[in-house]
Structure 1
Amino acid sequence: MPPVLCLLFDSDGTLVDSEILLAEVMGEILPSFGLPFSARQYMEEFRGVRFQTIIEALESRHGALVDGRFPVMENAMRGRMETRMRAELLPIDGMPDALAALAGHPKAVVSNGPAQKILCAMQSSGLAHHFGNNLYSAYALGVWKPDPGLYLKAAEGMGYPAQRCVAIDDAAVGVAAGLAAGMQVIHLNRFPEEEMTPEGAIAITHPGELPGAIAALARGAA
């Protein structure tokens, strides 16, 4: 039998269709704190990037926030985002069926977001039962994609070597992290007309392709 692979999923844009919600919330909140920003800008430039890194980039362009305003802004953004996720969040089209087809593989969520956001996303989208408590947050572990350390710490927590793990991610920072971690990487490229899949990663454009891609990787690892 082909070996069981450990599947490490990004959350935003991979499992759940949260990125447009996040883009809209940031487009509402950040300008009110003096940082010009739009939803389109998030989607085109900052998908999957750590919130603090986005703010630092904007401050370098538009001037620094007043001291003490960052946590106020972040709390406002997180609160509004959770409200919208609980009311509107859906899984990525085709992902529930793909996860069901992959029931024989251990799975975890590995995200640059806070633990509460990951948990809210899984609960709101109806995907929580696929992952249980296997939720790995960059905020909890102190390392953010594209640093490979986040995926490596998740692999360690799941009890699998990197070579037996598959990182599944839609964003450039996540694909880079998985490749640097020495894992097999599947790039869920939902914008193939606009984005290239880096060398070394496997490109798919829809979750329906995921079970076949995992089966092929398992055969190759046998």
Structure 2
Amino acid sequence: MSDLVIFDLDGVLVDTQDAENGALAYLGGLMGLTIGEGAAAELFSGRKMQECIDLMADMAGCAPPDGAMSIVRARCEELIGPSLEPVDGVADALARIPAPKCVASNSPREIIERRLRGAGVLHHFGGGIYSAYDVGAWKPDPRLFLWAASECGADASGCVVIEDSPVGVDAALEAGMRVLQFTPDPSAGPHREGVPTFSSMRRLPELLRAPAPFTPVTARDGGIR
């Protein structure tokens, strides 16, 4: 069993990634861009929100509207609606994983806590909530994961990161951590070659008990050897 299991938030613990992508695509529409669901997932998933807004500004050749980030966050909350569900199987998996657990996300801390609370899984993490905004480093920068591990008293080599986005996977590999990529739709991509994937959260406890099947290396070196 791992020394520490580090979870991403959106798309791994709570089902909000589509809403966030849709909210960003909505902002793109205000800027004259048409961004479909597939393109939104490829462009935005796992990235810092400001980076996504800057990317759309480059694509549109114009500045974003005033208060762009507030527009996206408000639209995202509209798309999420009054209830928030955990990813299917997450509550059961968290209850069956005895190793220490934490969350490390590109989202602000208050959003992380609110979404975990709304999904009924906040109690599994105690005080182990780590936001990129607090450390000033956003995935794919590995410093968020390294900071979370340090705060939890774990060595990077003993950590397993649960991610769904390519930028999160790259951050984990750069940090020298084992990573498992959650892919609810195995036919969807992209996936980094050699990184184990799984499509059901109910399998996660057994995957964490299995010996590590690979040695993590940096993303620049090609992922896994």
Kept in 2: contact 1:82–1:120 (CA 8 A): no
Partner residue in 2 for 1:38: 35
Give the Cα–Cα distance (whole angstroms) in 2 for the partners of residues 62 and 218 of structure 1.
44
Q: 1:39 to 1:134 in 2, by over 3 A?
A: farther
CA distance in 2, matches of 1:112, 1:139: 7
State the aligned residue count. Answer: 213
Task: Give the counterpart of 2:127 among 104, 126, 133.
Answer: 133
Write the distance in 1 (CA, Å) between the matches of 2:190 and 2:27: 31
Give % identity.
34
Q: Provide the secondary structure at the position in 2 that maps to 1:116.
A: helix
Taking only aligned residues, the RMSD between alpha carbons, in angstroms, comes to 2.2
Q: How do 1:164-179 and structure 2 match up within 5 A?
A: 164-179=158-173
2-structure distance, mates of 1:203, 1:195: 11
Q: State the Cα deviation string for residues 73-104 of structure 1 (Å, max 9, x = none).
A: 212322343455461321111111111110x2
Assess if the C-alpha contact under 8 Å between 1:4 and 1:218 holds in 2.
no
Q: Separation in 2 of the partners of 1:37 and 1:140? A: 33
In the alignment, structure 2 segments of 5+ residues that lack a partner are 215-225
Q: Please name the residue that 1:146 is paired with.
A: 140
Separation in 2 of the partners of 1:99 and 1:173?
23
Q: Distance in 2 between matches of 1:36 and 1:173?
A: 23
Identify which of 70, 78, 81 aligns with 1:75. 70
> CA–CA distance in 2 between the matches of 1:201 and 1:187?
7
Structure 1-normalised TM-score? Answer: 0.87
Residues 1:213 and 2:211 aligned together: no
* 2:19 partner letter: L
Give the Å deviation of 1:26.
2.5
Instruction: Indicate conservation of the 8 Å contact 1:167/1:183, yes or no.
Output: yes
| Equivalence for 2:180 | 186
Contact 2:93–2:204, Cα closer than 8 Å, also in 1 = yes
C-alpha deviations, 1:129-162, integer Å up to 9, x for none?
1112211111111001111111111111111010
Give TM-score, length-normalised by structure 2. 0.86
- Cα displacement (A) at 1:38: 3.5
**Structure 2 counterpart of 1:155, from 120, 132, 149:** 149
